[in-house]
Amino acid sequence: MLKLDHIVISSESLDDGQAFIEDRLGIKAETGGEHRLFGTHNKLISLGSSYLEVISISPDLIAERTPRWFNLDNFTGHPRITNWVCSADFSSFLPHDLMPEIGDIVDLSRGSLRWNLTVPKNGILPFEGFAPALIDWGVSKHPSKTLRENGCSLKKLVIKHKHANNLCLLLSGLLSDQRIEFAYTSGAGSYELWIETPTNGMVMIK
């Protein structure tokens, strides 16, 4: 079984991404840390059992592995949602059985955290990046359990893509979350994330 783990907002700089999300939610992001393998760094915001990750290439790090995850090498423009991540138990679920192109299972760590994540060799997940990355936290405590409770709750995540129906069918029976919707679009794929906040009410983020 798969479970929504977190949602990724990419940004050209971490400061820009932090300002983008804090302005919309009225909530201060918490420092995550650095990912030395991919030369990136992040900020986090709790959404209850899941969280938002704001991520960018760090100007202070040289990536040990490229292309970077989440296709960050090719990211330009304003901060926006670029990916979503689902958790799974890799001891009983093989990601390649779901999608052969989902990538390598990469062993990652930061501080006391240790996790495995699927990363394609070209950095782009299937369905032009709109398939979820899969993560297994193993024995590590999930980040949502260490982030400050802020009153924000995820109400809906809409994944818009020309092959949304195929992606939905692929995940059918594995991902049971009524907050996640798939919608057809004839144009470029995109996301809509709806979050209830304690100060700004219902907020929609793309």
What pLDDT, in 10s, does the model give residues 126-144? 999 999 999 999 999 999 9
In a domain, 197, yes or no: no
Considering the domain boundaries, does residue 58 fall inside one?
yes
In a domain, 155, yes or no: no
pTM: 0.97
| Long-range own/partner contacts, residues 87-92 (CB < 8 A, 24 or more apart) | 87/2, 87/3, 87/4, 87/5, 87/134, 87/135, 87/136, 87/137, 87/142, 88/1, 88/2, 88/3, 88/134, 88/135, 88/136, 89/136, 90/116, 90/134, 90/136, 91/136
The CATH number of the domain where 47 resides is what?
Answer: 3.10.180.10
Instruction: Give the residue-averaged pLDDT of 56-69.
Output: 97
- 79 DSSP assignment: -
For tokens 């409770």, what's the residue?
149
pLDDT of residue 97: 92
The residues pairing with 116 across neighbouring beta strands, listed in sequence order, are: 107, 136
Task: Please check the confidence at residue 57 and state whether its pLDDT lies above 90.
Answer: yes
Q: Which domain holds residue 103?
A: 3-149
Residue 79 forms part of a structural domain: yes
φ, ψ (nearest 5 deg) of residue 54:
-95, 125
Residue 201 lies in a domain: no
Q: Dihedral, CA atoms, 162, 83, 22, 145, nearest 10 degrees?
A: 130
The total of structural domains in the chain comes to 1
The dihedral formed by the CA atoms of 112, 116, 120 and 124, expressed in degrees to the nearest 10: -60
Task: Tell me the HSE value of 88 on the side-chain side, using a 13 A CA sphere.
Answer: 25
Q: What is the pLDDT of residue 111?
A: 83
Cβ atoms of 152 and 198 within 8 Å: the answer is: yes
Helix (H, G, I), strand (E, B) or coil at 133: strand
**How confident is the model over 75-86, as pLDDT tens digits?**
999 999 999 999
Q: Average pLDDT of 174-196?
A: 96
